[in-house]
């Protein structure tokens, strides 16, 4: 078990999320940076989709009650085990009484803790993910706090030699997108402006979405639509003309035109942006996006076999 001494700024149990439930009004949830979640799990010997602890900006302090193997992946935080600095993307062994401290972030915004055997919480609708707005899933449907005790599943074999290169995150990023369902609602001037300008990340960013600031788009005849489905990475243009990137806790439907959608392999990079970071968008074909997704899938499989 793992005893939480300090829950950090926002730490929740997450996995891939819930699928097939949006038609009944439930959001997908799940890890914001699935790439980092999968890497941490694989290095621990877990299935890539095993439940993990997602931490934001300031991580947890926790005591291990018995021997555990664990891995951190994602943003670079000041992380220590019994005061000794530890790195990401490497398997460590904690003994009973050892204390893990994941304090403030130095690069990126989110970091993931995987423990061999996975975090053991009751699945709801097929997922261990925490839905904070509905107070369900994860650990009692909420963020972790002092005094919580996390159970772990049956430990699997962990290859202590397995590790991979750590990610770094720049303050200015290029995010690849494909055309959205309402792409034709925008003028050629709008499209040129959207792809030529660099947007600034506003303070309004969370697990639901990231609001950007830049030069406003207008649309051919306004930006409102009859509400339709939303997916992770949809980019709505609000009435203000500013983009909102919808993330893991996105609503099930929305009434603003969606100009583009972020490709799956770039969602993890978006999960690591912070206030005042800069984002530029690049349009690619669906075929190219599929090739990139297949390349990412092959990388994860190769890491799991190594």
Give the pLDDT confidence of 61-110 residue by residue, as tens digits: 999 998 899 999 999 999 999 999 999 999 999 999 999 999 999 999 99
pLDDT of 11 reads 97
Q: Residue 281 corresponds to which tokens in the numbers above?
A: 């968008």
pLDDT of 161 reads 57
pLDDT of 162 reads 65
Contacts of 236 (CB under 8 A, 6+ apart): 230, 243, 244, 246, 254, 256, 257, 258, 259
pLDDT of 254 reads 86
CB 144 within 8 A of CB 7: yes
122 burial level (CB within 10 Å; 0-12, 13-18, 19+) = exposed
Q: Residue 128 corresponds to which tokens in the numbers above?
A: 């261990």
Beta bridge partners of 246: 209
pLDDT of 27 reads 85
Number of neighbours of residue 108 by Cβ within 10 angstroms: 24
φ, ψ at 294 (rounded to 5°): -65, -40
Q: Which of 215, 273, 272 is nearest to 243 (CA)?
A: 215
Q: Residue 265 corresponds to which tokens in the numbers above?
A: 């392999």
Domains present along the chain, CATH in parentheses: 2-152 (no CATH), 172-303 (2.40.100.10)
Give pLDDT < 50 ranges for the chain.
none
pLDDT of 22 reads 83
pLDDT of 39 reads 95
Tens-digit pLDDT profile for residues 38-54? 999 999 999 999 999 99
Cα separation, 258 vs 287, whole angstroms: 20
């Amino acid at each position: 078990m793992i005893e939480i001494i300090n829950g950090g700024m926002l730490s929740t149990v997450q996995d891939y999320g819930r699928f097939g439930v949006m038609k009944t009004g439930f959001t997908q949830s799940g890890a914001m940076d699935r790439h980092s979640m999968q890497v941490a799990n694989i290095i621990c010997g877990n299935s890539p989709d095993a439940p993990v602890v997602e931490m934001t900006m300031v991580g947890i302090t926790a005591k291990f009650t018995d021997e555990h193997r664990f891995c951190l992946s994602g943003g670079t935080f000041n992380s220590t085990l019994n005061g000794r600095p530890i790195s990401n993307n490497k398997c460590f062994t904690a003994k009973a009484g050892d204390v893990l401290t994941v304090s403030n972030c130095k690069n990126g915004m989110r970091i993931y803790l995987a423990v061999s055997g996975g975090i053991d919480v009751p699945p709801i609708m097929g997922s261990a993910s925490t839905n904070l707005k509905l107070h369900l899933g994860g650990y009692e449907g909420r963020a972790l706090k002092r005094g919580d005790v996390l159970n772990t599943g049956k430990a699997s074999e962990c290859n202590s030699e397995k590790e991979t290169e750590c990610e770094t995150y720049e303050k200015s990023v290029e995010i690849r997108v494909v055309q959205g369902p309402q792409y034709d609602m925008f003028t050629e001037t709008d499209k040129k402006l959207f792809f030529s300008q660099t947007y600034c990340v506003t303070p309004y960013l969370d697990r639901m979405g990231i609001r950007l600031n830049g030069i406003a788009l207008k649309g051919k005849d306004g930006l409102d639509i009859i509400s339709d489905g939303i997916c992770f990475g949809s980019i709505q243009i609000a009435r203000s003309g500013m983009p909102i990137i919808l993330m893991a806790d996105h609503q099930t439907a929305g009434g603003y035109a969606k100009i583009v959608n972020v490709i799956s392999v770039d969602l993890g990079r978006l999960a690591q942006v912070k206030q005042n970071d800069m984002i530029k968008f690049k349009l690619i074909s669906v075929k190219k996006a599929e090739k990139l997704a297949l390349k990412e899938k092959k990388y994860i499989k190769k890491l799991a076999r190594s």
